[in-house]
Structures are given as C-alpha cells and as structure tokens.
C-alpha cells in the first residue's frame, strides 16, 4: 500500500482509502464464496471495507475478514434464493468456468454471459 491516502466520509465516520489497491476480480466476474455455498457476479468494488460497523461486528470474530482489502458487491445466488452480498477479497475465488449465474438483476447491468464473465452493458460504460 502506498503512503498517500484519501479520506472518505461515509455514514458519519471517516474511512481511510489507499490511492492504489489491487483488486483480484473485476466488475462482471463470476465468483464463489470460499466458506459459504453461494456464488455471484461482481457489480461494484470498494478498495477497503466501507459497510456499517454493525454489519462488520455481526460477523463472528473467528471468521471476520480484515478491513484493509477490497470488498465486492455481488448479485448472489444460493440453491434457494437471490440476494446482494458484500464479501471480502480473501473469501472469494473465481468461478466463471462453472457457468452463468441466474440472479434476476444481472440483466439490468450486464449483457449475456460469455467467456466466463458478464460484459457490462455498453450503455453503462464510459
């Protein structure tokens, strides 16, 4: 991590965000959680933890991830439900070869699944 940092004020607290951070996954990548049985499509990335303290403290301490890593917003699916998940980089592995994800919100942001990932809709890119 570089010494230079930027400060973001969110939900009444200050979050220190490094100017550079290497994310292992990108928007449109299909990933699987290492410990829990769900997979999803990345639709946003935070360079460091940026959720609420209540959310963070609700995770059991013995499996609580470090804050100083990328966190991913996912359109997630399990065997019986669809939801949005917020997951640390340390808890994800690539899962594109397993095929498409069936989350209903994927069509809002992405084109058809191809080559193990979802390309973002052209109308949403710069």
Question: What tens digit of pLDDT does each residue of 40-92 get?
Answer: 999 999 999 999 999 999 999 999 999 999 999 999 999 999 999 999 999 99
Q: Give residue 59's pLDDT.
A: 95
pLDDT at 8 over 80: no
Tell me whether residue 6 is in a domain. no
**Contact call for residues 118 and 110 (beta carbons, < 8 A):** yes
Can you tell me the distance from the alpha carbon of 77 to that of 4, in angstroms, rounded to the nearest whole number?
37
Q: Give residue 22's pLDDT.
A: 86
Tell me whether residue 98 is in a domain. yes
Tell me whether residue 83 is in a domain. yes
Q: Give residue 125's pLDDT.
A: 77
Can you tell me the distance from the alpha carbon of 95 to that of 117, in angstroms, rounded to the nearest whole number?
9
> Residue 26 is part of which domain span?
21-124
> Which pTM does this prediction carry?
0.83
Tell me whether residue 8 is in a domain. no
Question: How many domains does the chain fold into?
Answer: 1
Tell me whether residue 4 is in a domain. no
Q: Which two tokens stand for residue 63?
A: 């499996």
What is the CATH classification number for the domain harbouring 120? 2.30.30.390
Q: Give residue 19's pLDDT.
A: 60
**Contact call for residues 17 and 1 (beta carbons, < 8 A):** no
Can you tell me the distance from the alpha carbon of 2 to that of 98, in angstroms, rounded to the nearest whole number?
36
The angle at the Cα of 36, spanning 117 to 83, to the nearest 5 degrees, equals 60
């Amino acid at each position: 991590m570089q010494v230079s940092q930027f400060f973001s004020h969110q939900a009444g607290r200050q979050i220190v965000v490094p100017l550079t951070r290497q994310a292992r996954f990108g928007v449109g990548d299909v990933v699987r959680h290492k410990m829990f049985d769900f997979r999803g499509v990345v639709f946003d990335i935070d360079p460091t933890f940026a959720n609420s303290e209540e959310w963070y403290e609700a995770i059991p301490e013995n499996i609580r991830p470090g804050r100083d890593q990328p966190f991913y917003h996912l359109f997630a699916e399990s065997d019986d439900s669809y939801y949005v998940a917020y997951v640390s980089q340390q808890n994800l592995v690539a899962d594109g070869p397993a095929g498409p994800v069936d989350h209903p919100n994927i069509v809002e942001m992405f084109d058809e699944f191809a080559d193990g990932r979802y390309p973002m809709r052209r109308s949403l890119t710069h």
